[in-house]
Amino acid sequence: MKPSALICCLGLPLFAVGEETEKPAPVMIDRTIPPGELRAAAAAANVSPALTRDLTAVGLSFGDPVFIRAFKEENQLELFVRNRSTGKFVLFRTYPIAAASGALGPKLAEGDGQVPEGFYVVPPSAMKPDSQFYLAFNIGFPNEFDRAHQRTGSFIMVHGNSVSIGCLAMTDEKIEEIYTLCAAAQSGGQPYFHIHIFPFRMTEERMTKAAGNPNEDFWKNIREGDELFEKNQTPPKVNVANGRYVFEENEPQKDAVFPCASPRANEDPLRRERPAGRWALGAAVRGGAKFRLGRKFGKRGLASGEL
């Protein structure tokens, strides 16, 4: 018997079971737009009206600073947006990771297929609208900690598509949202956004299960940074000393323009951005919302994201 027939037999109205409010039809991706700034602007035009609506509904604003945290075991990428009233970063979306190669544990060498674990930052020069995987950004591996441990690798991205070799693949549809939110934050003045990648959610129970793993000491070290974020809901300041990550609390600063900035406003201690070139600006207007998408040009043309 069909569910609708059973409901009728019970004398219940059809609309009482499983009815959902009508949702707007998803915006289709135009595959004819060539890679580059035009593609990024078109993606932003696709998703910004819904993003603006959903952000406003939870007291957040499009173009405000963002923070990303990813968990490999759970295949989840979290995107936080800073709340203007509290200065704290609020979880806005949790995206399923479509593909992430390798096993739990840090990336050690070029070609090992591992997704890195640790603390990274993404300046505008690392945004890659010309990616062969639709849209992408380079996380900046290896950072200072990785280099201190002779870890090698390059072009580690968060990108579209559903295939990965050491990257986080998010699908084209989801990367449109992620890329647009990050680019809007940078255009709004955030000099770089943080991305923290962990093997799993760093709970006491999960850490106990990890006892005896060769990576246990490293995982305990990176857990310190995650605990500070959980405490303050603001990414901690991160440095490297004696081959270990060293963290400093970063209190929420609701009046600060760049709450995650290190003392030297446009530099992070784990990454040194190449000298800035000129900006390429694209404008997108949809539903009355207007914003700019920018990225830098280097000496060799469009910056590839490598450092």
Enter the tokens of residue 118: 């640790």
pLDDT of residue 251: 84
Q: What is the CA radius of gyration of the chain?
A: 21
What's the whole-model pTM score?
0.78
pLDDT of residue 265: 29
In terms of DSSP bridges, do strands 289-298 and 279-286 run parallel, antiparallel, or are they unpaired? antiparallel
* DSSP assignment string, the chain: --HHHHHHHTT--GGGSS-----PPPPPP-TTSPTTHHHHHHHHHHHHHHHHHHHHHTT--TTS-EEEEEETTTTEEEEEEE-TTT--EEEEEEEEPSB--S-SS---STTS-PPP-EEEEE-GGGEETT-TTSSEEE---S-HHHHHTT------EEESSS--SSSEE--HHHHHHHHHHHHHHHHTT-S-EEEEEESS---HHHHHHTTT-TTHHHHHHHHHHHHHHHHHSSPPEEEEETTEEEEE-----TT-S-TT--SSTT-BTTB-PPPP-PEEEEEEEETTEEEEEEEEEETTEE--S--
pLDDT of residue 272: 39
Catalytic site residue from 159, 194, 196, 260: 159
- Dihedral of alpha carbons 94, 97, 103, 108, sign: negative
8 has catalytic annotation: no
Closest C-alpha to 139, from 166, 109, 172, 161? 166
pLDDT of residue 3: 47
Query: Are the C-beta atoms of residues 159 and 98 closer than 8 Å to each other?
Result: no
Q: Read off the pLDDT of residues 83-138 as tens digits, 9 standing for 90 and up.
A: 999 999 999 999 999 999 999 999 999 999 999 999 999 999 999 999 999 999 99
9 has catalytic annotation: no
pLDDT of residue 31: 85
- What's the rounded Cα separation, in Å, for the pair 306 and 154? 7
Query: Are the C-beta atoms of residues 302 and 279 closer than 8 Å to each other?
Result: no
Enter the tokens of residue 18: 């499983």
Catalytic site residue from 167, 182, 196, 260: 167
Q: What structural domains and CATH numbers belong to the chain?
A: 25-302 (2.40.440.10)
In terms of DSSP bridges, do strands 279-286 and 237-241 run parallel, antiparallel, or are they unpaired? unpaired
Query: Are the C-beta atoms of residues 271 and 42 closer than 8 Å to each other?
Result: no
Q: Cβ contacts of residue 26 below 8 Å, gap of 6+?
A: 173
For the chain, residues with pLDDT lower than 50 are 2-22, 258-307
pLDDT of residue 196: 98
